[in-house]
A and B are shown apart, each in its own frame.
Chain A
Amino acid sequence: MGELIFEARGASYRYAGAATEAVSRASLAVPRGELVGIVGPNGSGKTTLLRLLLGALTPTAGEMRAFGQPVATWKRRALARRIGVVVQREEPTFPLRVRETVALGRYPHVGAMRALGAADHAAVATALARADATALADRWTATLSGGEWQRVRLARALAQEPEVLVLDEATANLDLRHEMEAFELAAEMVRAHGLTGVLVTHHVNLVARFVDRLVIIDRGEVLAMGPPAVVLTREAVERLFAWPVDLVHWRGVPQFVPLRRAERGASQEP
Chain B
Amino acid sequence: MIELKGLTKTYAGKNVVDNVSLTLDTGEFGVLIGPSGCGKSTTLKMINRLVPLSGGRIILNGDDVTELPAEQLRRRIGYAIQSTGLFPHWSVAQNIATVPQLLKWPKSRIDDRVDELMAMFHLDAAEFRHKYPHQLSGGQAQRVGVARALAADPEVLLMDEPFGAVDPLTREVLQAEMRRVHQQTGKTIVFVTHDMDEALQLATRIALLNGGKLVQYDRPIELMVKPDNDFVREFIGQADLGLKLLSRRWVHQYQREPSLEHHATHPGLDHCWQLDDAGRPVALEGARLDEDHEVTEVKPEWTATPGMSMKEALSRMVWYRVMVLPVVDDAGKLIAEIGMQGIMGIQAENGTQAS
Determine if chain A interacts with chain B. Answer: no
